[in-house]
Structures are given as C-alpha cells and as structure tokens.
C-alpha cells in the first residue's frame, strides 16, 4: 500500500517553514490570479488557494489528494471564501477538467520526479484555456559528483560494531559484512553535500506537453576538486513564470535538501577524472548508476 506522506500535517509544516519557497509561490500566485479562474493542484493546507482568492481570483479550484482537504475546507470556511474557492478531493488526474486561466502547483521534492509533477502537469494542462498559464512550465534537472562520504562512514561504523558483537557473542558475522561491502547503490536525502565537479544538465522537461517521464540518459561527470567521490547529487530549477524560478541549488537547498545517489563504492577522485553514469527514473524515483570510471 502506498501512503502519501502529505496526509501528515508535519510535511506541510516543513514546506511552510521555507520562507524562500513560500515567497516564490506567493509572488507567482499574487501576480497571476487577479480576475482569473485558477487551479491549484495539491493545495495541501489551502493557504495558496486562499491567497489566490484574496488576490482577486474569480474562481479557485483547489485539488488535493489527501485528507488535508479537511484542513483546506476549514481554512476556506473560516475566511468566508466558500463562494470563490472550491476544494476538490482527489488526484487531479481523476478530476473532470474545468476551464481556467492560470494553473499552478508545487509538486517538487529533493528527487524532482517523485511527487509526480510530470504526470500531474499533463493533467493540469487540460484545464488551461488557450493563452492561459501553466506554472511551473519547465523543469530543469542538474547533477554533479559529490563525496557522499556519509554511507562510507556508516559502513565503517557498522563494521566496528559488528567486530565487537562478533567477539562478545562468538558469532561469525561475515555474511553481514560481505553484503555491506557488496557495492549496492542507494539513494538518500542530504543538505550537506557540496559538488566536487561542474554541474551538468540532465533533463530539461517541458511540463504539460503530454509526454511521459524522460528516458534514461548516459552522461559523463568530471572531478574538479581532488578527493574521494562516492556518488551524484541532483537538484532542480522549476520555472514558475518569466520572473520566478523555484529550486534547490547546491549550498542553498531550502527544505528540500538534495537527492543523492551513492554508488556503493568509493572512487579515488583525481582532478580531471571522468565518470560515466546513467540517469534512470524507476517508477517515480530518479536513480544514478555508475557505468564506468574513465580515469
Ligand atoms: C508539496 S505539497 C504543496 C502544498 C501546497 N500547494 C503549498 O504549496 O503549500 C504537495 C501537495 O500536493 C498533493 N498532491 C500531489 N500530487 C497530487 C495530485 N496528482 N493530485 C492532487 N494532489 C496532489 C500532496 O498530497 C500534497 O499535499
């Protein structure tokens, strides 16, 4: 069973704590809502839909997939906005489209594809009338090599633990040690990684164009600062409109953090070393596989 984490109010606390994200979203909403019919997909608490109404939207459809619809409806009622804002429960993909002039969402995540922004934007585009605006309209994904030292540190710490327990309990724990050192790649979220090489553009996705998730792509990444390299960090820039970009660049990721794909083994990371990797969206998760150390 898949449980949508956004049914937990804590997820909304986290994103509402991000002032830079909030500012970008509110600027976009306030700029484009006056005298417009508006769709918000994934309204969560309902805050941005209510702001759209306050900014002068003539109608707001606020679609939300989780039980947060009850919070959003309460917010609308307490502010007397029932005549403008309609909170609709469900996935936008399952809701009958109505004509709107401006459709927006914030379906982003450290892994830019995992919240389903590509599929949801395709569904949203069916609501937008000729000349209307879908926001965001473009999603660009970047990547760079990183030390990803955390997993290596964890393996070493776990090995030290196993050595103690092996002695204390007279157990052969080789089966665990071997699997820990088997080079299994894995993904995690981190705010502490800093690129050790130049950024490459991985995907440039026009949202709402009806296309499926992008296909796998092989790229070569480079080491610029010498030191061990164990993975790839990913970040995104979402174009909300001609004035506003939303993203989680290196050193300033906001509440999103960064999606890091660890190779499961450490490369030496000499200056100028080139590493071939494959980017692949499996389900809705972006994974990066180490193909070749090109030296
Ligand atoms: C990152 S939160 C943003 C909440 C709100 N828009 C804000 O900015 O404060 C994304 C929300 O979208 C909802 N959601 C994700 N995919 C959806 C879909 N396809 N249809 C409807 N709601 C969706 C999630 O349940 C979650 O509440």
Confidence of residue 2 (pLDDT cuts 50, 70, 90): very low
Assess whether the C-beta atom of 196 lies below 6 angstroms from ligand 1.
no
CA dist list (Å): 33 to 82, 129, 137, 280: 17, 14, 16, 37
Better-predicted residue by pLDDT, 9 or 107: 107
Atom of ligand 1 nearest to the CA of 90: 21
Q: Is 91 in the pocket of ligand 1 (CB under 6 A)?
A: yes
Atom of ligand 1 nearest to the CA of 16: 9
CB of 62 within 8 A of CB of 90? no
The Å distance, Cα 128 to ligand 1 centre, comes to: 18
65 lines ligand 1 (CB under 6 A): yes
Of 115, 193, 266, 287, the active-site residue reads 115
Atom of ligand 1 nearest to the CA of 40: 6
Q: What's residue 21's pLDDT?
A: 97
Percent share of the chain, pLDDT over 70: 99
- Please enumerate in sequence order all residues whose Cβ is within 8 A of that of 292, keeping only pairs 6 or more positions apart, or say none: 275, 276
Q: Is the pLDDT of residue 32 over 80?
A: yes
User: Is 115 one of the catalytic residues?
Assistant: yes
Residue of the CA atom closest to atom 8 of ligand 1: 106
- CB distance 47 to ligand 1 below 6 Å: yes
* pLDDT tens track for 143-158: 999 998 877 788 889 9
Q: Cα of 105 to ligand 1 centre, how many Å?
A: 7
What would the pLDDT profile of 214-230 be if each residue is shown by its tens digit? 999 999 999 999 999 99
What is the model's pLDDT at position 287? 95
pLDDT, tens digit, 9 for 90 and up, residues 188-202: 999 889 999 999 999
- Name the β-bridge partners of 144: 233
The radius of gyration of the chain's CA atoms, rounded to the nearest angstrom, is 22
DSSP per residue, the chain = ----GGGSHHHHHHHHT-HHHHHHHHHHHHHH-TT-EEEEES-TTSHHHHHHHHTT-SEEEEEESSTHHHHHHHHHHHTT-TTTEEEEES-GGGSPP--EEEEEE----SSTTTT-HHHHHHHHHTTEEEEEEEES-EEEEEEEEE--HHHHHHHHHHHHHHHHHHHHHT---HHHHHHHTS---EEEEES----SS--EEEEEEETTSS--SPPPEEEEEE-SS-S-EEEEEEEEEEE-SSS-EEE--TT--GGG-EEEEEEEEEE---TT-EEEEEEEEETTEEEEEEEEE--
* Ligand 1 neighbourhood includes 4 CB (under 6 angstroms): yes
Active-site annotation holder among 40, 106, 193, 287? 106
Distance (Å) from CA 43 to ligand 1 centroid? 5
Most ligand 1 atoms within 8 A of CB, residue of 3, 6, 244 to mutate: 6
Whether 64 contacts 84, CB under 8 Å: no
The residue-averaged pLDDT of 98-125 equals 98
Inform me whether the pLDDT recorded for 1 exceeds 70.
Answer: no
Residues 6+ apart with CB under 8 A from 207: 117, 118, 121, 122, 125, 134, 136, 137, 138, 139
Q: Which atom of ligand 1 is nearest to the CA of 21?
A: 8
Q: What is the pLDDT of residues 243-289, one digit of tens each?
A: 999 999 999 999 999 999 999 888 999 999 999 999 999 999 999 99
Query: Of the candidates 119, 287, 270, which has an alpha carbon nearest to the alpha carbon of residue 202?
Result: 287
Percentage, residues of the chain above pLDDT 90: 86
Domains of the chain plus CATH, in order, are 5-106 (3.40.50.150), 140-293 (2.70.160.11)
- Quote the pLDDT of residue 210: 98
Distance (Å, whole) CA 159 – CA 184: 16
**Angle at the Cα of 119 from the Cα atoms of 129 and 90, rounded to 5 degrees:** 80
User: Is residue 183 predicted with pLDDT exceeding 80?
Assistant: no
Beta 85-89 vs 59-64: how paired, if at all? parallel
């Amino acid at each position: 069973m898949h449980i949508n984490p956004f049914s937990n109010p804590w997820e909304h606390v986290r994103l509402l704590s991000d002032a830079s994200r909030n500012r970008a979203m509110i600027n976009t909403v306030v700029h484009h809502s006056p005298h417009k019919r508006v769709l918000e997909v994934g309204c969560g608490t309902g805050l941005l839909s209510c702001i759209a109404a306050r900014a002068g939207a003539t109608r707001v459809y606020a679609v939300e997939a989780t039980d947060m619809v009850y919070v959003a409806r309460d917010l609308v009622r307490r502010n007397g906005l029932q005549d403008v804002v309609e909170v609709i429960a469900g996935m936008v993909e399952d809701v009958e489209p109505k004509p709107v002039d401006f459709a927006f969402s914030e379906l982003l995540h450290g892994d830019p594809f995992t919240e389903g922004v590509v599929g949801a934007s395709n569904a949203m585009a069916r609501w937008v009338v000729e000349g209307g605006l879908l926001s965001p309209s473009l999603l660009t994904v970047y990547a760079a090599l990183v030390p990803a030292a955390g997993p290596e540190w964890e393996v070493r710490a776990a090995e030290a633990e196993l050595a103690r327990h092996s002695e204390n309990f007279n157990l052969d724990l080789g089966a665990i040690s071997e699997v820990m050192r088997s080079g299994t790649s894995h993904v995690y979220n981190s705010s502490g990684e800093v690129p050790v090489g130049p950024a490459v553009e991985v995907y440039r996705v026009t949202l709402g164009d009806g296309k499926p998730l992008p296909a796998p792509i092989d790229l070569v990444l480079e080491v610029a600062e010498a030191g061990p390299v164990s993975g790839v960090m990913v970040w995104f820039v979402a174009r909300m409109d001609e004035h506003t970009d939303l993203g989680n660049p290196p050193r300033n990721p906001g509440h999103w953090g960064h999606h890091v794909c660890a190779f499961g083994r450490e490369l030496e990371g000499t200056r100028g070393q080139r590493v071939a990797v494959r980017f692949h969206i499996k389900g809705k998760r972006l994974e990066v596989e180490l193909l070749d150390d090109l030296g």
